[in-house]
């Protein structure tokens, strides 16, 4: 089914209210499917090892999408899908996708459970608020990390010249253009002019203004679209999608299933996650990003989110050719050891479950530039080290890591961390000696826990 048909169905499908769609379709169907397919969480498992349940979760997710559809928030109509249309979308989903240009071109691919191939790493500011004065240097510091395959979401430009930016204003168009220019400048400075920049300037339709083959984001740079929880899509996303599909950009489609929300607990929400993976592909997504959110903890390394990430990714990896990537948002912030414990736990879970990786980022950055390229390096190293690891081994390490941070998951209790300009020397773009020492110490500690970072 092509985009034209999707867009048409968004204007002609059954008319309903959002609340009815969420309660009477999504929630009601999840409850039935959870029982029918016996999808459960035992209250303690962090990394799923039950492959039969992963396969049942795949079936349940597919059935959820077919019985619920996707809600178009703008038209209030349901985009309903037939089994044949879903199967066709899955059959033609790319298992491998090129991005970037010249010698910096790279490929992201579908991974299998316990796949020995290294995961693709999307790394960067990940939509943290980035100040105008540090935008280029901060992104250059990420781009100079060679293990990062694609610069990820170069950051919100919340203010220009001290002025806050209204999303649909002319200033937002200017900000989107600067976002494109400065991101390109950053990768050039890092000596990787063709490095793919996964873009998401988040300025409503104005975001398209970041596109320019010479100075901005190119047709070889992925563009991110974010579905709204659960199984909903808005007009701005559809508008951007229409343009970027026609322009030929790789489509990076993200969704954030909310544990405790309309899908219920971690088991029910895993079904929603699988349905969202498939919906993303039907809508045109080529790389699909899962961000397993939580209604209480508001981050992605709690036990429920770890379980969901493992189960949903395994369901997808075992039953489809979808290129999956998992986002990593933590309670601990850059500059703290907890940050690394958390992203390592989720990376070990996701990578051994067949996912690529996106991140990391604190769930609640404190102020501007609350990011660390050096920690992104460690994240990439841990993710690479997890390639080929058995899930049983990963589960043992994840349990040890979880013990180290479980009592500080509350965002108020979690370490505050430091800003980029405190963690880096802005002249040399090298980490401060203290930050470097933290990295070395964490690496040693992770090796001691069984992460093969010394291999």
Partner 1 sequence: MTSEANKDTIFAAMRESIENYDSEAAVAAAKQAVESGIDLLEAVEKGFAEPIRKLGDAFDRMEIFLPQLMLGSDAMKAGTAVLDEAITAGGGSIKSKGAVVIGTVEGDIHDIGKTVVAALLQANGYAVHDLGVEVPASRFIEAAESRKADIIATSALLSTTMLYQRDVLELLGNKGLRDKYFVVVGGAPVTQAWADEITADGYARGAYEAVRLLDARKGR
Is residue 261 close enough to count as binding partner 1 by CB under 8 A?
Answer: yes
Q: Is 412 in the site for partner 1 (CB under 8 A)?
A: yes
> Nearer Cβ to partner 1, position 234 or 445?
234
- What are the tokens at 163? 């002025």
Cβ 125 vs Cβ 371: under 8 Å: yes
User: Binding string to partner 1 for residues 292 to 331, with x set by CB under 8 A, is what?
Assistant: ---xx-x-----x---------------------------
Question: Residues 433, 435, 438, 439: is their CA dihedral positive or negative?
Answer: negative
Among 308, 392, 289, 319, CA closest to 39 = 308
Q: Can you tell me which of 80, 85, 132, 364 binds partner 1, judged by CB under 8 A?
A: 364
Q: Does 388 bind partner 1 (CB under 8 A)?
A: no
For 132, residues 6+ apart whose C-beta sits below 8 A from its C-beta are: 157, 159, 160, 161
**Contact, 443 vs 453, CB < 8 A?**
yes
- In the range 110-129, which residues lie near partner 1 by CB under 8 A? 129
- Distance between CA atoms of 339 and 367, rounded to whole angstroms? 17
- Minimum CB separation from partner 1 for residue 260, in Å? 5
Q: Specify the DSSP element, H or E, that contains 109.
A: strand 106-109
Using the CB atoms, write b or e for 294-308: b if 16+ within 10 Å. Answer: beebbbbbbbbbbbb
Q: Which is nearer to partner 1, 117 or 296 (CB)?
A: 296
Q: For residue 349, is the peptide bond before it cis, meaning its omega torsion is within 30 degrees of 0?
A: no
Distance, in Å, from the CA atom of 254 to the CA atom of 235, rounded to the nearest integer, reads 16
Q: Does 164 bind partner 1 (CB under 8 A)?
A: yes
Query: According to the binding rule CB under 8 A, does residue 260 interact with partner 1?
Result: yes
- Least distance (Å) from partner 1 to the CB of residue 22? 8
Which of the ranges 180-188, 291-299, 397-405, 426-434 carries the binding residues for partner 1, by CB under 8 A? Answer: 291-299
Structure tokens at 195: 């490095």
> Applying CB under 8 A, which part among 116-124, 199-207, 212-220, 386-394 lies near partner 1?
199-207
**What span, in angstroms and rounded, lies between the C-alpha atoms of 218 and 225?**
16
165 binds partner 1 (CB under 8 A): yes
- When binding is defined by CB under 8 A, the residue of 258, 271, 306, 345 that contacts partner 1 is 258
For residue 258, the minimal CB distance to partner 1 (Å) is 6
Nearest to 213 by CA among 324, 104, 101, 307: 101
- Which one of residues 3, 160, 167, 321 is an interface residue with partner 1 (CB under 8 A)? 167
Shortest Cβ distance from residue 163 to partner 1 (Å)?
10
- Catalog residues that contact partner 1 under the rule CB under 8 A: 18, 23, 27, 73, 129, 156, 158, 164-168, 172, 202-204, 228-229, 234, 236, 258, 260-265, 268, 295-296, 298, 304, 364, 366-367, 411-412
């Amino acid at each position: 089914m092509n985009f034209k048909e999707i867009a048409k169905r968004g204007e002609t499908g059954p008319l309903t209210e959002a609340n009815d769609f969420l309660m009477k379709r999504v929630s009601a169907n999840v409850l039935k499917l959870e029982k029918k397919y016996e999808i459960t969480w035992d209250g303690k498992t962090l990394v799923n090892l039950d492959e039969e349940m992963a396969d049942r979760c795949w079936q349940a997710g597919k059935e959820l999408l077919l019985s619920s559809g996707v809600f178009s928030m703008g038209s209030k109509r349901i985009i309903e899908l037939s089994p044949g249309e879903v199967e066709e979308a899955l059959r033609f989903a790319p298992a491998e996708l090129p991005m970037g240009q010249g010698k910096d071109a790279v490929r992201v691919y579908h991974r299998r459970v316990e796949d020995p191939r290294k995961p693709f790493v999307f790394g960067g500011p990940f939509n943290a608020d980035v100040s105008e004065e540090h935008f280029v240097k901060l992104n250059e510091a990420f781009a100079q990390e060679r293990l990062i395959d694609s610069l990820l979401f170069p950051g919100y430009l919340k203010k220009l010249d001290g002025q806050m930016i209204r999303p649909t204003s002319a200033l937002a168009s200017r900000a989107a253009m600067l976002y494109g220019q400065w991101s390109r400048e950053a990768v050039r400075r890092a000596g990787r002019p063709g490095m793919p920049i996964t873009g998401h300037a988040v300025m409503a339709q104005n975001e398209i203004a970041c596109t320019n083959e010479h100075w901005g984001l190119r047709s070889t740079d992925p563009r991110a679209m974010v579905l709204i929880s659960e199984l909903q899509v808005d007009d701005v996303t559809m508008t951007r999608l229409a343009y970027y599909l026609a322009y030929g950009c790789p489509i990076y489609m993200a969704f954030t299933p909310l544990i405790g929300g309309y899908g219920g607990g971690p088991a029910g929400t895993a079904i929603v996650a699988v349905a969202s993976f498939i919906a993303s592909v039907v809508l045109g997504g080529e790389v699909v990003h899962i961000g397993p959110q939580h209604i209480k903890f508001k981050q992605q390394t709690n036990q429920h989110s770890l379980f969901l990430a493992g189960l949903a990714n395994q369901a997808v990896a075992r039953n489809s050719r979808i290129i999956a990537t998992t986002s990593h948002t933590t309670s601990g912030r850059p500059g703290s050891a907890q940050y690394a414990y958390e992203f390592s736990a989720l990376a070990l879970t996701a990578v051994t479950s067949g996912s690529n990786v996106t991140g990391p980022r604190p769930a609640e950055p404190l102020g501007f530039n609350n990011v660390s390229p050096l920690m992104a390096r460690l994240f990439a190293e841990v993710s690479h080290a997890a390639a080929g690891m058995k899930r049983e081994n990963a589960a043992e390490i994840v349990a040890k890591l979880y013990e180290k941070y479980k009592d500080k998951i509350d965002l108020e209790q979690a370490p505050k961390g430091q800003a980029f300009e405190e963690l880096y020397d802005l002249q040399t773009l090298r980490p401060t000696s203290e930050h470097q020492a933290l990295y070395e110490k964490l690496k040693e500690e992770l090796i001691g826990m069984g992460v093969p970072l010394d291999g």
